[in-house]
Structure 1
Amino acid sequence: MSSTPRRIPIGIIGCGHGTGAFFSSLRRFPTIQAVACADSDFFRAENRAQQYSQGQATMKACSIDELLADKGISLVVNLAPARSRAGISLRILEAKKHLFSDSPLSLDLAEAAHLLEEAERRNLRIGSAPDLFLGAPLQTALALINEGSLGIPLSAHAHLSLPAPETWHPDPESFYLAGNGGGPLFDAVPPLLSALVTLLGPVAAVIGSTRTPLTERTVTSEKKQGVRIPVEVPTHVTALLDFATGAGGTLTASYDVLHHRQPALEIHGTEGSLSLATFEQGPVSLRSKDDPLWREIPPAYAEPAQSPGGIGKGIGLGDMAAALLMDKPHRASAPLALHLLDALLTLARSSEEGIRLAVGTSCSRPAPLPAGIAPGELVV
């Protein structure tokens, strides 16, 4: 890669509390030039623009209308809240700009499918989070599976228990409101499904179980400490998954687990097993059929030391920008995002109806990143 690579000029819509890590990640990718950000609250956009603007890297704060009218911006990142995300995504496509969306694309499958149709009609691309599958741990696991270290993958378990939002978020109410895209179903299940689909292929059928053990929670974060908020969504999600490849899997996503020692992911095959401590950083361990002990596997690529969240944050956008420059497919693709949403909503419906349900969509497994790449060459 040349020392002065071409860059895709991008704009970002959505500058809320949870977007800081994403903005901080943007400078790591040589394919991106972030030029503008917008939010319904202009003060938040100004704060994010100041956070990003250092040295020669500058970003302007503007209104959403101004950002969409800017002919110098060719790709827009949509970090708006889930309830309004699809509507803004449609406006982005109507403005003739490529779209990279936060997860999920929409809260409604038909609405998400319409976005894909609009993008295809306008010859535009859609990329979407979750993109943690492009981080070093999951790319290392993917390489092990692809090279046959596990033999035929048979089963998997993925687990993600997140700190309850009332313990850290200044305004946690939205996480617990029905119809708002909240709870672990929309917060934690998407990265789990993304990891499993990347490694094992598309989900064919699902049995879901969701629970709401507490109908009220007390906020302990500073801004609203002591305030009681109602809980209208499930806060503990489990599922049995059947994959089109014949493998089976389980997942658990929760706001109700205080402490645990479970790995983020384990996959078992005819010739061995692998274990990931976390999705973002940390070791990948392999134990083959005849190995007396587990052994750590070198990562697929080196994580930069200055990246406390792991290089996975924002990498899907960086990969998409590089793919646009090189006229190649990007990995965090629209068909993948649609399938993940379909599997998620089918899980929820399965829990409501108490039956096993087929997942109507499918997708291809994302292509792996090149092995041994340096942080500045992640998207080649």
Structure 2
Amino acid sequence: MTRMKTGIVGCGNISAIYLQNLAASPWIEVVALADRVPEKAQERAAEFGIETACTVDELIADASIELVINLTIPASHAAVHLAALEAGKHVYGEKPLAVSLEDGRLILEEAAKHNLRVGCAPDTFLGAGVSTARRAIEEGLIGRPVAGTAFMLGGGPEGWHTDPEFFYAYGGGPMFDMGPYYLTALVNLLGPIQRVSSSTGIQIPDRVIGSGPKAGRPIAVQTPTHLAGTLDFAGGPIVTMIMSFDVRGATELPRMEIYGTAGTLSLPDPNFFGGDVRLRRAGSDNWETLPPVFDSARNERGLGVEDMVKSLRENRRHRSNGELAYHVLEAMHAFMHSSAESRHVTLESSYKVPAARHDSLKL
């Protein structure tokens, strides 16, 4: 088997875990790195033994590269995706698929025109946490799912991130940064989202960078930092969701719970691959921890891109795909529109969830 020659665009913080994990992949060979800051690409190339560090244009023009992994900031996702697709390359990117719905549609249309694959993070739903919860639902352990909750409550990344301005620009905020983890997991557990209603706001507008060379610099907050809403799923469940960078104290609210006619599932943080899934059956006062479908204890980012390449070779649909990412993108925009326009927003897209595969996809 020939490994697919791959280039990575964007050599920031998250590139290290991709390079570390993909180095062991039998399906993918990373041969080139590029970044708008050349020194970053050169440093990563030296760190991981990658032969070529080049410009973005040079990487995309390289005829030997079949796949581009796009790890740039959200505002650059669409431009890099489209350039790679136009050059005849498959693309896989960090979340979100794009900032705007229009760009998201353009990406899917361009891929279809050239018969190319589009993949998109998050791939954490392929880990043991969500996979164990999905099997529990399929086996009827909580009966019919009727409702759920999803909470991501924190104080924002400016306290630890040395360059956090993009988190507060259009296409950022807690919804576009962390929402994809929760929404992707929920869609894989409960099916497609039909309708969204919400309230959003910038509850704490005064932000200052807390570390690194920009420490002390104020941040212009241009996107909602607290979003609360309701998701109506096509299959019937109603989920309450809050995404916030405005919670400065600790909270004991669960990350995610799914409520059924026969019990409740408590899920781990969907930003991670593993974690305990707990079940509380109707009539019981006790939680029981379910055995995981497989071990998933470490950061396995890259599973989604490996599954995409493997599925391409096997002529099947990959799971961290562009259609799923677009459906999630539309749901995130629906949160914004619902609040701004004081109305429910019905999604135009849907998503057919692939059959579950409860085997580990370990790199």
- Tell me if the contact between 2:162 and 2:215 (Cα under 8 Å) persists in the aligned partners: no
Where 1:222 maps in the other structure, the secondary structure is coil
> For residue 97 of structure 1, what is the aligned residue in structure 2?
89
- Tell me if the contact between 1:52 and 1:59 (Cα under 8 Å) persists in the aligned partners: no
> For residue 294 of structure 2, what is the aligned residue in structure 1?
301
- Within the candidate set 310, 316, 320, 1:322 is matched to 310
Q: Which runs of 5+ in 1 are unaligned?
A: none
- Tell me if the contact between 1:332 and 1:366 (Cα under 8 Å) persists in the aligned partners: no
- Tell me if the contact between 1:78 and 1:101 (Cα under 8 Å) persists in the aligned partners: yes
Structure 1 residue 38 corresponds to structure 2 residue 34:
yes
Offset at residue 32 of structure 1 (A): 1.8
Where 2:318 maps in the other structure, the secondary structure is coil
- Write the distance in 1 (CA, Å) between the matches of 2:29 and 2:118: 18
Offset at residue 223 of structure 1 (A): 2.2
- Write the distance in 2 (CA, Å) between the matches of 1:222 and 1:234: 25
**C-alpha distance 314-162 of structure 1, shift in aligned 2 (>3 A):** farther
Offset at residue 6 of structure 1 (A): 4.3
Structure 1 residue 283 corresponds to structure 2 residue 279:
no
- Within the candidate set 3, 9, 15, 1:7 is matched to 3
Offset at residue 163 of structure 1 (A): 5.1
- Tell me if the contact between 1:188 and 1:254 (Cα under 8 Å) persists in the aligned partners: no
Q: How does 1:1-380 map to 2 (within 5 A)?
A: 6-53=2-49, 58-162=50-154, 164-177=156-169, 179=170, 181-258=171-248, 259-279=250-270, 280=272, 281-303=274-296, 307=298, 309=299, 311=300, 313-371=301-359, 373=360, 375-376=362-363
- Write the distance in 2 (CA, Å) between the matches of 1:15 and 1:352: 36
**Larger deviation, residues 25-34 vs 206-215:** 25-34
Offset at residue 292 of structure 1 (A): 4.0
**C-alpha distance 16-162 of structure 1, shift in aligned 2 (>3 A):** farther
- Write the distance in 1 (CA, Å) between the matches of 2:212 and 2:104: 36
**C-alpha distance 162-7 of structure 1, shift in aligned 2 (>3 A):** farther
Offset at residue 290 of structure 1 (A): 4.4
**C-alpha distance 267-59 of structure 1, shift in aligned 2 (>3 A):** farther
Where 2:23 maps in the other structure, the secondary structure is helix
Amino acid at match of 2:350: S
- Tell me if the contact between 2:280 and 2:288 (Cα under 8 Å) persists in the aligned partners: yes
Residues 189-219 of structure 1: CA deviation (Å, up to 9, x unaligned): 1111111111001110000211211222122
- Write the distance in 1 (CA, Å) between the matches of 2:357 and 2:46: 32
Residues 46-70 of structure 1: CA deviation (Å, up to 9, x unaligned): 12222322xxxx4421111221122
Q: Which runs of 5+ in 2 are unaligned?
A: none
**C-alpha distance 123-374 of structure 1, shift in aligned 2 (>3 A):** closer
- Write the distance in 1 (CA, Å) between the matches of 2:100 and 2:54: 29
Where 1:234 maps in the other structure, the secondary structure is coil
Offset at residue 339 of structure 1 (A): 0.7
**Larger deviation, residues 17-26 vs 241-250:** 17-26
**C-alpha distance 263-26 of structure 1, shift in aligned 2 (>3 A):** farther
- Write the distance in 2 (CA, Å) between the matches of 1:358 and 1:79: 31
Where 2:17 maps in the other structure, the secondary structure is helix
Give % identity: 39
Residues 92-132 of structure 1: CA deviation (Å, up to 9, x unaligned): 00110111122112122122112111111111111111222
Offset at residue 81 of structure 1 (A): 1.7
Offset at residue 374 of structure 1 (A): 7.0
Matched residue count = 360
- Write the distance in 2 (CA, Å) between the matches of 1:136 and 1:101: 22
Amino acid at match of 1:375: K
Amino acid at match of 1:251: M
- Write the distance in 2 (CA, Å) between the matches of 1:60 and 1:318: 21
Amino acid at match of 2:152: L
Residues 278-302 of structure 1: CA deviation (Å, up to 9, x unaligned): 2213211012224441111111211
Amino acid at match of 2:65: I
Residues 68-88 of structure 1: CA deviation (Å, up to 9, x unaligned): 122221111111222222111
TM-score, with length taken from structure 1? 0.90
- Write the distance in 2 (CA, Å) between the matches of 1:350 and 1:339: 16
Amino acid at match of 1:229: I
- Tell me if the contact between 2:73 and 2:166 (Cα under 8 Å) persists in the aligned partners: no
Over the residues paired in the alignment, what is the CA RMSD in angstroms? 1.8
Where 2:6 maps in the other structure, the secondary structure is strand
TM-score, with length taken from structure 2? 0.94
